Structure 1
Amino acid sequence: MTRNTATLIGFSAVALWSLLALFTVASAPVPPLLLNALCFGIGGGVGLVWLLCTGGLGQLRGVPLSVYAFGAAGLFGYHFLYFSALRLAPPAEAGLIAYLWPLLIVVFSGLLPGERLRAGHLAGAVLAFAGAALIVAGGIGALEGAGAGYTLAFLAALTWAGYSLVSRRLGHVPTGAVAVFCLASSVLAAIAHLALENPQWPQGITGWGAILALGLGPVGLAFFTWDIGVKRGDIQLLGTASYAAPLLSTLVLVIAGVARATPVLAVSAALIAGGAVLAARAGRDRVRRSKDG
């Protein structure tokens, strides 16, 4: 597989994640833990069938248990926070805050050994967080529980940023391990659901269709294609493409009639995406100067 092919495969994950909020809203009133269990069960099951068909099960024996624990905790933790946020706050606004993770990846990566946090990173962080603050300020008092939803959305962004940064150091782990991550996440979510939630199942064809779509796409195939992209493709180009996710997700919600195209929403989306792009440019400038030097 060429570098360009792997990068294109990674792009598909960004496109699939733009549908995450819409399908999550359509899956209501399924509670977050049960939603995790169902979606990851579908995604992990499809991944397991793929491994059986391609003879890839053997490569999973050499993966340390600590890696499986890390992957399951990252996937389970992020989606539990994300699904909960979209149940408690307006989906477009909560989704935008959750999609601060590309920016957080850029900013936190600048603190890693061998990296440098530049002025562009900080300026981008300020700009994007201004967009998030605009969302929160506009939602105060507008919906009971929205503040808790916004907080969970931000914690989701932190969780996925941390998961992605640590995953950069696990390039030797086969992509097939993602199937185990998903299945383990499904089991964890099912146990937690039985202990903490009252079961509420999807309603009608729309609800079950949303569950199936989530498990096959944003909470299934996307993890496999993203893993291939970040390990074998152009990670900087993929990171930049991720900044389109919040705009695409919001646009999908507006087109579907789930969210209104308000001026505040448009400005917030522009600030968040603009701040992320500014931070990405700072990173590319650093790489360019190091090559020239």
Structure 2
Amino acid sequence: MQGKRKATLIGLTAVLLWSSIVGLIRGVSESFGATGGAALIYTVGAILLSFTVGFTKVRQFSGRYLFWGSILFVAYELCLSLSIGYANSGRQAIEVGMVNYLWPSFTMLAAIAFNKQKSNLLIVPGFAVAVVGICLVLGGDQGLDIAGMVGNIKTNPLSYGLAFFGALIWAAYCTVTSRMAGGKNGITLFFTLTALALWLKYFTTEDGAMGMSYHGIIYLAMAASAMGFGYAAWNVGILHGNVTILAGASYFIPVLSAALAAVLLQAPLSLAFWKGAAMVCAGSILCWFATRGQSAKPAPSARSRQS
């Protein structure tokens, strides 16, 4: 019992570490650029994962999982990191990160549509609440303001678009690979491939040398550590801890992420934003409850993502 409690606490530290990622990615991108900063994060993260999680033994995986898992994982991580890096301000980076957190609700819908996951009628209000929450987040200080939301998106359609498509891509990843992974973890390989893709983009599209600063190096170390040690802690928690507690806690990552990013980026957030963030969490939880206790494959928890 003592060992299970300790493993659960270790798993909960992963929730805190992952909640800091939006603010840290933005901090790194402000020093090294959107593409260069992301490339550095995933490079250092891959190195840390090789020590904490271990190297990926490619022969243990099916060819289908390696193909689809690699493509979808790399595409998602590029969308996530670049959407935050391309944001016009710290506040916008937080909003973009919140759009990305639509992926748990999308994942539930995809599991129902393609994996024959059964659910009850809670899935409808759950998804609706999450979408309305995003509308509140993007509406600015006015709250639920469609015209204001559209105007906000028009200021940087690339960032918001990448975040939205990233959420869809991750839902596809969870849906497709849940049947192919066989319980094995390819995270180290996928991080390495993401780093290579970002370096390729950097050397083919970016102009000028990458700037270096103590501020950027500190943020880089923190961001890579949050990812590398986060996955290691999550693995311990999932394997040896209370999975129910960890799954429930992971659904509060959007609010925790916004709070930590607001502090790190010194970006004040309105009451309407916090209401929207809370609704995104509530919507995801309702979608999760809609599939609990139902037959067929269980819906994935909010951050059983990278497996």
Range of TM-score over shorter length: 0.7 to 0.9
Letter in 2 for 1:21: V
- Percent sequence identity is 22
Superimposed CA distance per residue, residues 194-241 of structure 1 (whole angstroms, 9 cap, x where no aligned partner) = 1122356354111111122222222x2334444566677766654433
Deviation at 1:74, TM superposition (A): 3.2
Match of 1:154 among 161, 164, 185: 164
- The normalised TM-score by structure 1 is 0.81
Displacement of 1:6 after TM fit? 6.4
CA distance in 1, matches of 2:113, 2:152: 37
The 5 A counterparts of 1:43-58 are 43-50=45-52
Distance 1:69 1:231 in 2: 26
Find the aligned partners of 2:108 and 2:245 in 1 and give their Cα distance.
12
Gap change, CA 1:82 and 1:202, over 3 Å in 2: farther
Shift of 1:17: 1.4
Q: Are 2:234 and 1:222 equivalent residues in the alignment?
A: no
* Partner residue, 1:291: none
Which residue identity does 1:63 align to in structure 2? F
Inter-partner Cα distance in structure 2 for 1:74 and 1:230: 23
1:103–1:125: 8 Å Cα contact kept in structure 2? yes
Cα 1:40–1:242 change in 2 (3 A) is same
Q: Is the 8 A contact 2:55 2:188 kept in 1?
A: no
Equivalent residue runs for 1:78-97 within 5 Å: 78-86=76-84, 87-88=86-87, 90-97=92-99
Deviations 1:22-67 (CA, angstroms, capped at 9, x unpaired): 111211143333233212211212233457xxxx659443334543
Q: Judging changes above 3 Å, is the alpha-carbon distance between structure 1 residues 50 and 236 closer, same or farther for their aligned structure 2 residues?
A: closer
Paired residue for 2:260? 252
Does residue 1:99 correspond to 2:114, yes or no? Answer: no
Change in 2 beyond 3 A, CA 1:199/1:79: farther
In structure 2, C-alpha distance between the alignment counterparts of 1:15 and 1:141, rounded to whole Å: 33
Distance 2:112 2:27 in 1: 38
SS at match of 1:201: coil
Q: 1:100-139 to 2 correspondence within 5 Å?
A: 100-138=102-140, 139=149
**Partners of 1:114 and 1:233 in 2: how far apart?**
28
Shift of 1:95: 1.2
Helix, strand or coil for the counterpart of 1:286?
coil
Root-mean-square deviation over aligned CA pairs: 3.1
> Is residue 82 of structure 2 the alignment partner of residue 73 of structure 1?
no
What does residue 194 of structure 2 align with? 185
Q: Gaps (5+ residues) in structure 2?
A: 141-148, 296-307
What CA distance in whole angstroms lies between the structure 2 residues aligned with 1:36 and 1:76? 12
Residue 128 of structure 1: how far off its partner (Å): 0.6
Task: Give me the whole-angstrom Cα distance separating, in 2, the residues matched to 1:5 and 1:67.
Answer: 32
CA distance in 2, matches of 1:200, 1:143: 31
Aligned 8 A contact 1:102 1:239 in 2? no
- 1:12 to 1:163, Cα distance in 2 relative to 1, 3 A: farther
Q: Which residue of 1 aligns with 2:22?
A: 21
C-alpha contact 1:23 1:213 (8 A) present in aligned 2 = yes
The structural deviation recorded for 1:133 is 1.8
2:170 is aligned with 1:172: no
CA–CA distance in structure 2, aligned partners of residues 248 and 200 of structure 1: 34
Gaps of 5+ in 1: 288-293
